[in-house]
Amino acid sequence: MRLGSPMSGARLTRLEWLALAGLLLALALWALGATPLFDVDEGAFSEATREMIVHHDWMHTTLNGEPRFDKPIGVYWLQAISVSLFGVREFAFRLPSALSAWGWSLALVAFALPRLGRQVAVAAGVILATCLGVLAIGRAATADALLNLLLTLTALDAWRWLEAQNRGEAGRAPLRRAYAWMGMGLLVKGPVAVVVPGAALVLWLALSLPWREALRRLGRAAGDGWGWALLLGIAVPWYAYELHRDGQAFIDGFLIRHNLARYSSPLEKHGGSIGYYFVVLPLLLLPWTPLLASVVVGVRRHWADPMQRFLLVWGGFVLVFFSLSGTKLPHYVLYGASPFVLLMAMALVQAGTAMRAALTVCLLLLLALLCGSAATLHLWAPGVVKPPLYRALLLGQQASPWLVWVSGMAALAVLFLMTQLSRPGLTLLWRSGSAAVLLSLVSLGVALPWWGDLLQGPIKRAAEVARQRPEPAVQWGLHQPSFAVYREEEAPRRAPRDGELALVRLDQLPALMAQVGGRYSTLYAERGYALILWRASSAPAEPSVAQAPMTAP
């Protein structure tokens, strides 16, 4: 029986479904609030959400009081609902992303079950939930996990519609669902929500059918009036509101700068070569990267099956399209992760001993990247890290014995699961899936909180000190929007005025002082950052009132 066709025994029992969904949900929520918000993206999204709640304006976003046109409104609504329920906490800002990543995994399981069988379906859900890229965006307070969920739902429903067409059925329900998902995607990210699934559908039709039949089906898909009504009814009201409110500023900020200019040129110095994503994708799919190599080797076999060809076209389009983009960020390539994960799940179910060895190596490699690098930071960082700020951050804090001990035990457990445990029925899926879940729990619960405190802890603690003070606060010479989140008050990016607090980088402070003159008192300082109280030249300085360790070799 070939993969890609309906298979007998493809169903999961209700208990099995609940167990799988519960496991993936527990993983998605595990230690979700244990890590400080990372700047710039998490801090900016979270502060914009906080300001939306404070200003009682749920149709418009600002960042430190200035209009923010980076992304549409959708994810801010979900974050605002979460924060309204749970308070201004990391957990609340990240909850929509965690639930989106969870739903993303379940969407793959539900799609694969009737087409590829229960083993492939379970494998797809576990691979997606435990690969590095999804672990990252699934706990980031940004729009990316939600967008990926909507892109996946759209493309999978597009294939369901194509299946119905092949059977001679109308198949209107999946097509109209796809339109609705695209409308939601337009509210979350913008045109990419239509471009990716739309291109996958058009390319598959062009490559799989005679041109007359391809045009006929494309006309049916594009001419569904109820579908367009759903898409436009969902997306247009907010866009119309923003155009009415901000006019050309919205067009310039959102459409031109953050869509057209982002594709045509490197925005904010996020550039890369044409081969950038061919390197990044294998890294984001760790520890499952060897399965991607297996997919590449078997590409001709996959192409022969219509559904698998659709998956290849979808993933291949994302790779090529974003490789041609001027702005390159790692998570863009995850828009094509779902089709690759489904093909990789098929490879896992069919894999043998050589694949087990390769996966064991990659599991340990990922553990080394996340945990081992932290445990050995004092050994490698002095000779590698040169910028003063990052030397102060990275070399001013030692790895805890707990991190070293847990990462070592995790490595032994992975080796045991993958090489030593021998019982009938312990398939490679069971072994590698269990090892990947264990590794994810350790990385998310131990390593990531340590890295988060290392890089963002000083900002959070400086904000907590500032929150106890009545003076206004600014960010001087830097962009750390999480500072405003933790202070729960706007913190504009500008030079301070007399009597204002300022978050500064210690390595830049002498140059900043030379530009404006004046004097300051240090209220808090830690590993490269300081919170100061600024005074004009004629005003007396106050003594320092709080100081934390600032080791800076």
Q: What is the pLDDT of residues 206-235, one digit of tens each?
A: 999 999 999 999 999 999 999 999 999 999
The chain-wide mean pLDDT, for the chain, equals: 91
At residue 268, the pLDDT reads: 64
Question: pTM of the predicted model, to two decimals?
Answer: 0.93
The residue ranking higher by pLDDT, 397 or 310, is 310
**5 pLDDT exceeds 50?**
no
Q: What DSSP string runs through 446-512?
A: IIHHHHHHHHHHHHHHHHHHHHTS-S-EEE-S---THHHHHHTS---BSPPPTT-EEEEETTTHHHH
* Contacts (Cβ under 8 Å, ≥6 apart) of 163: 171, 307
- Nearest CA to 458 out of 393, 388, 515, 403 is that of 393
CA 84 to chain centre: 23
Residue-wise pLDDT tens digits, 260-306? 777 777 766 677 788 999 999 999 999 999 999 999 999 999 999 99
d(CA 283, CA 286): 5
At residue 405, the pLDDT reads: 87
At residue 551, the pLDDT reads: 41
**370 pLDDT exceeds 90?**
no
Q: Where are the domains of the chain?
A: 69-350, 464-535
Rg (CA), the chain: 25
**317 pLDDT exceeds 70?**
yes
**553 pLDDT exceeds 70?**
no
Q: What is the mean pLDDT of residues 157-166?
A: 94
CATH of 464-535, one of 1.10.4030, 2.30.42, 3.30.110, 3.10.50: 3.30.110
At residue 263, the pLDDT reads: 76
Residue 482 burial (C-beta neighbours within 10 Å; 0-12, 13-18, 19+): buried
Lowest-confidence segment of 65-69, 343-347, 371-375 by average pLDDT: 371-375
